[in-house]
Amino acid sequence: MPTGLIYVLYFILPYISLVVLVVGVLYRIGLWLAAGKGPLGLYLGLHRLVVKPRQEGYLSAVGHILARMFTYYTILKASYRRDYATWLGVALFHWGIFLLIAFHLHLWLPQLTVPESLMFIMGTTVGSVTLAAGVYLLVRRVNIQRVYSVTINYLDDYVAVSWVILIVTLGLALRLTAPPSLFNEAVKWALGLTSFKYVPPPSNPLFYAHVLAVELFMVYIPFAKMIHPFSMPVNPALYGRFEDIEEVRRRVMDKLGW
């Protein structure tokens, strides 16, 4: 790969991706917070999903949102007919992504003396489980007809999961085939980004592909449904008057035909 292109893709693009991600997410959250609240508003939750917070008060509603974020327990509600396989797939996929992101922070914290053998075992295990869960969810998404009475047939519904599967696949392949020296080279590159100093990335095609896929995905997040990890804590259900869920469903049907 030409040196100039490497400089652009692995020194300039990371900053652009980060700025687009942060500014885009803050902008989307700002729009959501500015949306109308109250008796005439529609509390739609995450992407067409109606959320019913507890009726006792604000803190209870926060607890409802946090429980949904970390346990995905709403998948086991009647709307999904207690689909335990889907619940397990969603939980493993999301928590696998969270753990893989946490593992990558090791690049910027080399002072953490974690044995490479342990990092290899944890990374390949979590990566493999995440990949398997992602493939299962993608196959299910292709086959399923309706979730909460909404047909899943939009391109974004497939692109997001497929993109994450690609990133994890490239990461696993890199982890399984990379020479021992690659990690130290990656650390130097990552620390160079932090100090705004250009350090050439490891000269490895899988590393190039993996990092580029992540950078482009960061740009994609604010414009797609993948923004949901950031939007969940500011769910509109936390604001205004807590309405009866059946009334909300009736208004959704009347206005949107769902």
User: Of 81-85, 125-129, 134-138, 153-157, where does mean pLDDT reach its minimum?
Assistant: 153-157
Which three-class secondary structure state does DSSP give residue 163? helix
Which three-class secondary structure state does DSSP give residue 15? helix
For 152-199, the pLDDT digits (tens) are 556 777 888 999 999 999 999 999 998 988 988 999 999 999 999 999
Which three-class secondary structure state does DSSP give residue 39? coil
For 72-88, the pLDDT digits (tens) are 877 776 555 567 888 89
* pLDDT of res. 251: 62
Q: Kindly state the average pLDDT of the residues 246-253.
A: 61
- Whether residue 240 has pLDDT greater than 70: no
DSSP bridge pairs for 146 = 151
Q: In angstroms, rounded to a whole number, what is the distance separating the alpha carbons of residues 181 and 200?
A: 14
Q: In angstroms, rounded to a whole number, what is the distance separating the alpha carbons of residues 249 and 52?
A: 10
pTM greater than 0.85: no
Sign of the CA dihedral running 184, 189, 193, 196: positive
